[in-house]
Amino acid sequence: MEPESTATVSSSMLSSPFEFPLELPPRDSRNLLRELHRQLRTAILDGRLKPGLRLPATRAFAEACGVSRNTAIAAYDLLLSEGYLVTRRKAGTYVAQVLPQPPVRTSAQPQSQLVAQPDGPRPGDPRLNAYWRAAPAPYVPMPASAPRDFQFGVPEQAFFRFDIWQRLSSRAIRALAKAPAIYSDAQGRGALREAIAAHVAFARAVACRADDVIVTAGAQQAFDLLARILVTHGRTTVAVEDPGYPPMRAAFALAGARVVPVPVDEEGLIVDLLPADARIICVTPSHQFPLGTAMSMRRRTALLEFAQTHGAVIVEDDYDGEFRLGARPLDALQTLDRTASVFYVGTFSKSLFPALRLGYVVAPAWAQGPLVSLRQHAEWHPAVLPQDTLAAFIAEGHLARHVRKMREIYGTRRRVLLECLQRDFAGSLEPIASDAGLHLAAFANVEPHEIERMLKRVRDKGVRLESLGAYYAGSSARSGIGFGYGGVDEAGIREGLAILRDVWRAG
């Protein structure tokens, strides 16, 4: 006879990894996550799950209970956000030693809808939709810049010609003052779309017309728009790189997709591990985020073949592809595409400055109408003044000149960074080969929780460095550090790595 803790005792009672059963509705019930969260929280509050107890990993928990891993992750994340659980890097998830106050119950509120009573809504409040009830954490503002800031994705602004930008902006204002007061095109200003089409053709060999370009408020809005036109809630499987860009994962999860992390190696996304039912595949082939590798031609060909065979689409995020520091890069997936399967997403936040908040999608013809219509419903149209200014900035050659200049500056910073790593961290940090972009990553020979501990001490000394572990969606995180060199000069790189060296040697 199987032990009770691993047997399914009835059609409404699932197996449990604990000494008590979990009575849950069927897997396809809309109340499954709510009930799983409620019963775990109740067990914590009444002492059946005691403070300090280590919980099973989400994969083991899901298998024992007979639920999907996504459901298990969502339940754990909700309890984490409410303060009932804590995580320790590479050590697991534990019941918190200090528990929050029990939720307040009103006479009109059923037991299954008990939530904490903050000043405003929090994850778990039944008034929120399902995603936000299980959201891992509330919005946290970006922290202030550190004296030596190695943050990912931050470009250098000291060399940007703001005087030229101001002149072009003033000219655009004068032109707008003479124009009739009308709403602009939801697809984006025609002059800017023409300029973008010419720019990506020159910089990345992406063949497109102005009509193929949809202007967005940065790459993140592009991901959001694509998710909303491509995802069927609860049915579409989206494959993402692991490690990868968390905001991209969030955009598709928000649209109701089943998001599946797929590992990457030195050749990029491992196409052979794609789920057969993947209908959207999100990749960063030019400069994998955050590891920095470039997808090999063999993998690019395999990925395009997979998309054609399975009727899938590819979202190609080329977030900093202009800054290639080595040989000529491989062609973009969009350039190689012959079946109208690739959406090419770009942004000017890295090549110019983040406050600009302008990006774009080069979309296949079959998706352009829905994208523009959704853009109109969501925001009507992008702000006109920065579009007109950027269009002139590109058309007059200022963007190309700026990119050439910054490529040299970033190349020098990368060389300094590699010299410091090779001199002071040989055997401790292994730089990952990369010939493009604004950051370099390195694998570490210590456990992830040790990296987190050291980086906290480094941050206390005025150096911001990022752990690679934060970018893994799965549980197989390999420890490492990411070094963004866009926002820190050569002196800052040397100073920052000297501080890291001292902390590392102190253990």
How is residue 311 written in tokens? 């009727």
> What is the tens place of the pLDDT at every residue in 216-274?
999 999 999 999 999 999 899 999 999 999 999 999 998 999 999 999 999 999 999 99
User: Over 60: is that where the pLDDT of 74 sits?
Assistant: yes
Residue located via tokens 């499954």: 32
Q: Give me the pLDDT at residue 330, please.
A: 82
- pTM: predicted TM-score of the whole model, two decimal places: 0.75
Report the C-alpha gap between 184 and 199 in whole angstroms.
22
Domain count, the chain: 3
Lowest-confidence segment of 264-278, 303-317, 442-456 by average pLDDT: 442-456
- What integer is the mean pLDDT of 136-161? 78
125: pLDDT strictly greater than 60: yes
At 135 the pLDDT is 58
Q: Does residue 231 sit in the same domain as residue 87?
A: no
- For residue 4, tell me if it sits in a domain: no
| Residue 6, pLDDT above cutoff 50 | no
Confidence band, pLDDT 50/70/90 cuts, at residue 381 = confident
Q: Is the pLDDT of residue 321 over 70?
A: yes
Q: Which amino acid is at 58?
A: T
Average pLDDT, the chain: 86
Question: How far apart are the C-alpha atoms of 55 and 91, rounded to whole Å?
Answer: 11
CA–CA distance, 283 with 291 (Å, rounded to integer) = 12
Same domain, 228 and 123: no
In a domain, 141, yes or no: no
Confidence of residue 120 (pLDDT cuts 50, 70, 90): very low
Domain-embedded: residue 381 = yes
Handedness of CA 303, 439, 159, 142 (dihedral sign): positive
pLDDT at 393 over 90: yes
In a shared domain, residues 352 and 207: yes
Q: What's the pLDDT at 122?
A: 46
Q: Where residue 301 sits, what CATH number does that domain have?
A: 3.40.640.10
Residues 377 and 446 in one domain: no
Tell me which of 69 and 295 has the higher pLDDT: 295
* pLDDT of 123 higher than 60: no
- Taking 60 as the threshold, does the pLDDT of residue 434 lie above it? yes
How far is it, in rounded angstroms, from Cα 138 to Cα 407? 37
Domain edge (last residue) among 362, 382, 399: 399
DSSP state of 229: H
Shared domain for 433 and 383, answered yes or no, is: no
Segment 456-475 mean pLDDT = 88
Position 380 scores a pLDDT of 84
Claim to verify: residue 188 and residue 55 sit in the same structural domain: no
Is there a single domain that holds both residue 105 and residue 169?
no
Using one digit for the tens of pLDDT, what is the confidence trace for 16-42? 677 778 887 776 667 788 888 888 888
- pLDDT of 481 > 70? The answer is yes
- What is the residue whose two structure tokens read 């083991």? 60
> Residue 267: inside a domain, yes or no?
yes
The whole-angstrom separation of Cα 54 and Cα 38 is: 19
pLDDT given for residue 475 in this prediction: 62
> Are 374 and 430 members of one domain?
no
For residue 259, what pLDDT is reported?
94
CATH number of the domain enclosing 421: 3.90.1150.10
CATH code: domain of residue 22:
1.10.10.10
Q: What confidence score (pLDDT) does residue 478 get?
A: 83
Domain boundaries, position 291? 163-399
What is the token pair recorded at 355? Answer: 């406050």
Q: Supply the pLDDT for residue 105.
A: 42
In angstroms, how far is CA 380 from the centroid of its own chain? 26
- Does a structural domain hold residue 139? no
